[in-house]
Structure 1
């Protein structure tokens, strides 16, 4: 588990980023029309996520409990009902995922992301791991994921 100082720093960064993301939201729809939808744009603003207690090393060593990520999976399901691109936008805005990508090794972050996506597909689409991996590897998913990443880069570059 991270030291109390590191946990406090993470919590401060998360709060600052959440505040920054709330400021100027009206402009985000100019980046992409999907961002006009509050279920897609900052879908976790009202979810209480304590990043200071998140222990990535424990997840690496022991795996994760899907129940702890129910808020993510439910938001992804709503996004997927809109479009695959909307689901990818929701996924990439999850604060825990943002923290992992920012602070962990690239390979570990990718493994974590794959684990989340595979678990999501298993829960909501009753897919086994191989089928879920094929879906993640599909051109349709890769295109939507890359487009979502670009949309969010533009959004954050505008400071919205």
Structure 2
């Protein structure tokens, strides 16, 4: 858990970024054009999530409640109207997923990410699990997901260099 001072600084940056996004002003992203969309670049800055209450082991044992991820799913749907790449960038920026990817072993983390994507596709595309799993293995999805991961790594490295 970040210190209260660090949390306050993050909150201030989030407010400034949200205000910038609402005004539509800002410099174009030097990392990738997909980040120029306000709904794609840091879409969860104004969403409060108490990550201290997130229990990955409980989710792995008992599953998760899709309603708990409505803010993620809505942001993904909005980004998907831009492109599949935009949807993947939004997905990978969700704070819960960032935590899971950073702190959990690869196989359980991958299972959790896939479960979220399966639920998302079931809700918004009325797809059965088998169809979604096939889509997740497609070159189109894999290319978009890998590029999204690369874009966010470059963005995070650039942001870290500014601090």
TM range (shorter): 0.7 to 0.9
User: Equivalent residue for 2:113?
Assistant: 113
Could you say which residue in structure 1 is the equivalent of 2:41? 41
Following TM superposition, by how much is the alpha carbon of 1:20 offset from its aligned partner in structure 2, in angstroms? Answer: 9.5
1:15 Cα deviation after fit? 3.5
Cross-structure match for 1:90: 90
Task: Find the counterpart in structure 1 of residue 72 from structure 2.
Answer: 72
Task: Give the Å deviation of 1:38.
Answer: 1.3
Tell me the alpha carbon deviations over residues 128-154 of structure 1, each in whole angstroms, 9 at most, x when there is no partner: 100010111111000000110111111
Q: How far apart are the structure 2 equivalents of 1:17 and 1:97? A: 21
Residue 141 of structure 2 is matched in structure 1 by: 141
Bigger shift: residues 28-37 or 117-126:
28-37
Query: Which ranges of structure 1 fall in alignment gaps of 5 or more residues?
Result: 1-8
Q: Deviations over 1:83-113 (max 9, x none)?
A: 0000000000000000001111111100000
Query: Which ranges of 4 or more aligned residues in structure 1 deviate by more than 6 Å?
Result: none
Helix, strand or coil for the counterpart of 2:70?
Answer: helix
Contact 1:10 1:51 in 2 (8 A): no
| Cα distance, 1:37 vs structure 2 | 1.3
Shift of 1:33: 1.2
Gaps of 5+ in 2: 21-25
Change (3 A) 1:138 1:50: same
The number of residue pairs the alignment matches comes to: 152
Partners in 2 of 1:154 and 1:72 — Cα distance?
22
Matched-pair contact (CA < 8 Å) for 1:40–1:86: yes
| Higher RCO (CA-CA < 8 Å; seq separation 6+) | 1
C-alpha change, 1:50 and 1:159, in structure 2 (3 Å) is same
Task: Work out whether residues 11 and 52 of structure 1, in 8 Å CA contact, stay in contact via their aligned partners in 2.
Answer: no
CA positional deviation for 1:72 = 0.3
SS in 1 for 2:48: coil
TM-score (norm 2): 0.84
Tell me what 1:132 maps to.
132
